[in-house]
């Protein structure tokens, strides 16, 4: 198998002919695990979703538009590569760049236009910030669309959406670069049902604010 990160951020497992075997979300927690078959990398995401990758099954990796590279390393090598070049981490251990992080894996259902999942309300230094809102969303009744939104001082600033099939959860990463002059600001990570007569269901979410400049 090959691991390919597309230019649009999608991470794919493909066979050696390039046919897609599985699409993984761009946001995940990566762990080194082991069983009777040896060590492997566990990709955990969404609402208790996981996929295990054994290094001896991977023949090549590719980050488009670069060419693919033959892989023959260990599971630790694979973990190092995936965490630096393929996935955004759902969880962060901290560091000076992380200003705020809030994660929640409880289920929340709404038929509202917008409902806030996470809120930061406080002081920020002047600078440039990266705001990541990641949500695992589904629809409980009819097929339709859902959206993930970032609000700055109650104003919708960034919105990501995707068409959802009935009862099938999907992951949406909404990334916004925000230049702040310094002072108090309110940042909300929200979701909504976009299609009338549907119910939006959020299984997992994460809001991370990082100072990047």
pLDDT tens track for 154-188: 999 999 876 666 566 677 888 889 999 999 999 99
pTM over 0.85: no
- Determine the pLDDT at residue 98: 82
Pairing of strands 98-104, 27-35: unpaired
Q: Is residue 118 packed enough to be buried (19+ CB in 10 Å), middle (13-18) or exposed (0-12)? A: buried
Would you say residue 95 has pLDDT above 50? no
Q: What is the location of CATH 2.60.120.660 in the chain? A: 98-211
2-89 in CATH: which number?
2.30.30
Q: Which residues, including other chains, have CB under 8 Å from residue 101's CB and lie 6 or more apart?
A: 91, 92, 206, 207, 208, 209
The domain made up of 98-211 is a member of CATH 3.40.250.10? no
**pLDDT, the chain, mean:** 85
Using alpha carbons only, what angle is made at residue 191 by residues 188 and 194, rounded to the nearest 5 degrees?
Answer: 140
- Determine the pLDDT at residue 3: 93
């Amino acid at each position: 198998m090959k691991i390919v990160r597309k230019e649009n951020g999608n991470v794919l497992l493909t066979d050696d002919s390039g046919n897609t075997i599985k699409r993984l979300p761009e946001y995940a927690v990566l762990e080194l695990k082991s069983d009777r078959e040896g060590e492997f990398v566990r990709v955990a995401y969404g609402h208790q979703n996981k996929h295990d990758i054994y290094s001896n099954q991977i023949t090549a990796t590719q980050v488009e538009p670069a060419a693919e590279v033959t892989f023959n390393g260990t599971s630790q090598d694979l973990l190092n590569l995936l965490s630096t070049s393929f996935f955004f981490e759902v969880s962060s251990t901290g560091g000076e760049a992380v200003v705020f992080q809030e994660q929640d894996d409880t289920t929340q259902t709404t038929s509202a236009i917008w409902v806030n999942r996470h809120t930061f309300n406080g002081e920020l230094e002047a600078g440039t910030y990266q705001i990541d809102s990641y949500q695992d969303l589904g629809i409980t009744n009819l097929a339709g669309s859902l959206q993930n939104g970032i609000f700055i001082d109650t104003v919708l600033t960034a919105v990501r959406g995707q068409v959802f099939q009935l009862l099938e959860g999907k992951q949406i990463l909404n990334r916004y670069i925000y230049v702040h002059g310094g002072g108090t600001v309110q940042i909300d990570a929200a979701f909504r049902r976009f299609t009338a007569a549907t119910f939006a269901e959020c299984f997992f979410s994460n809001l991370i604010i990082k100072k990047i400049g």
